[in-house]
């Protein structure tokens, strides 16, 4: 274990600018994302932004990428679960933002040994609304967050670090880290994928009911385990996804070719 990685993460609550994907891998995952959008009618929304590692073998390939898992296991040890994947395309000119929030507000994990790896498939910078991370429940119709979460405190801007990323780089933040992102004021899209990991030993509060996928080490029996997708939108994969997210998707989704 690289103590520097773990110590820096535990001290600051985040890591920024980690090189994860080769140029070829960025191209593969970027094209795969665009193909998924096309399959969904040109725009991925609602439940189909979440837990796509159950529907798409290429997303499972990203979730289990050796460089990503190397960072996560250095922080939380050898036994790791992935409990969610979130797609975050941010379109130019929409004004969409992610307000200051903590992921821990709504995931209910004990202990809170969980983090997000945010992988950039396009450049993520101040112009297109890159992530902002601070050292240390309201609803807004322009919020990209699932429940419109926002922390009810002032954030000291002097402690904020911008997570500027090149394609193929990633940032990592703890679920207790306060973070946000601004609107995309550029002329191009900002596309990123957030992968949520936790130590396999943690428990989740009653009533949340998440399942998770074992991606490293051994299972500790704390979550119902998810299956690895073998076929894109196969019947078993569609059922596993619907069960995991509680989705009631469009009836013609199963018939998509």
Residue 250's pLDDT is 40
DSSP 8-class letter at 158: G
Highest mean pLDDT among 127-136, 172-181, 187-196: 187-196
pTM of this prediction?
Answer: 0.84
Q: What is the dihedral of CA 198, 203, 208, 213, to 10 degrees?
A: 40
140 pLDDT more than 50: no
Residue 125's pLDDT is 73
Residue 89's pLDDT is 82
* Degrees to nearest 5, angle at CA 176 with 170 and 179: 55
Per-residue pLDDT tens digits for 203-253: 988 667 789 999 999 999 999 999 999 999 999 999 999 999 873 344 333
Task: Enumerate residues 6+ apart whose C-beta is below 8 A from 213.
Answer: 53, 54, 60, 63, 81, 82, 83, 225, 226, 227, 228
Average pLDDT over residues 189-201: 93
CB of 198 within 8 A of CB of 219?
Answer: no
Task: Quote the percentage of the chain above a pLDDT of 90.
Answer: 51
Q: Distance from first CA to last CA of the chain, Å, rounded?
A: 44
Q: Locate the domains of the chain by residue range.
A: 3-253
Sole residue written with tokens 């609602």: 46
Give the range among 14-18, 30-34, 131-135 with minimum mean pLDDT: 131-135
Asked if CATH classification 3.50.50.60 holds for the domain at 3-253, the reply, yes or no, is no
Average pLDDT over residues 117-144: 62
How many other CB atoms sit within 10 Å of the CB of residue 223? Answer: 20
> pLDDT averaged over the chain?
81
Confidence of residue 175 (pLDDT cuts 50, 70, 90): confident
Give the range among 8-12, 21-25, 30-34, 228-232 with minimum mean pLDDT: 8-12
Phi, psi of 252 (to 5 degrees): -85, 0
Residue 158's pLDDT is 56
Residue 209's pLDDT is 79
62 pLDDT more than 90: yes
Confidence of residue 104 (pLDDT cuts 50, 70, 90): low
Residue 105's pLDDT is 60
Residue 178's pLDDT is 77
């Amino acid at each position: 274990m690289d103590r520097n990685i773990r110590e820096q993460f535990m001290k600051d609550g985040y890591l920024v600018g980690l090189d994860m994907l080769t140029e070829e891998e960025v191209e593969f995952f970027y094209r795969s994302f665009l193909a998924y959008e096309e399959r969904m009618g040109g725009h991925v929304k609602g439940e189909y932004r979440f837990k796509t590692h159950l529907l798409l073998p290429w997303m499972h390939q990203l979730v289990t990428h050796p460089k990503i898992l190397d960072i996560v296991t250095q922080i939380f040890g050898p036994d790791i679960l992935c409990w969610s994947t979130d797609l975050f395309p941010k379109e130019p000119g929409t004004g969409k933002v992610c307000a200051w929030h903590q992921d821990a507000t709504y995931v209910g994990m004990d202990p809170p040994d969980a983090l997000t790896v945010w992988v950039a498939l396009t450049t993520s910078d101040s112009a297109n609304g890159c992530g902002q991370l601070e050292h240390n429940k309201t609803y807004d119709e322009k919020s990209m967050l699932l429940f419109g979460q926002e922390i009810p405190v002032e954030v000291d801007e002097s402690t904020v670090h911008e997570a500027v990323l090149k394609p193929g780089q990633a940032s990592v933040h703890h679920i207790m880290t306060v973070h946000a992102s601004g609107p995309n004021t550029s002329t191009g899209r900002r596309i990123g994928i957030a992968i949520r990991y936790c130590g396999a030993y943690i428990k989740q509060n009653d009533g949340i009911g998440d399942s998770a996928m074992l991606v490293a080490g051994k299972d500790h029996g704390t979550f119902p385990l998810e299956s690895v997708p073998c076929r894109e939108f196969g019947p078993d994969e569609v059922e596993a996804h619907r069960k995991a997210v509680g989705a009631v998707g469009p009836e013609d989704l199963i018939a998509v070719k």
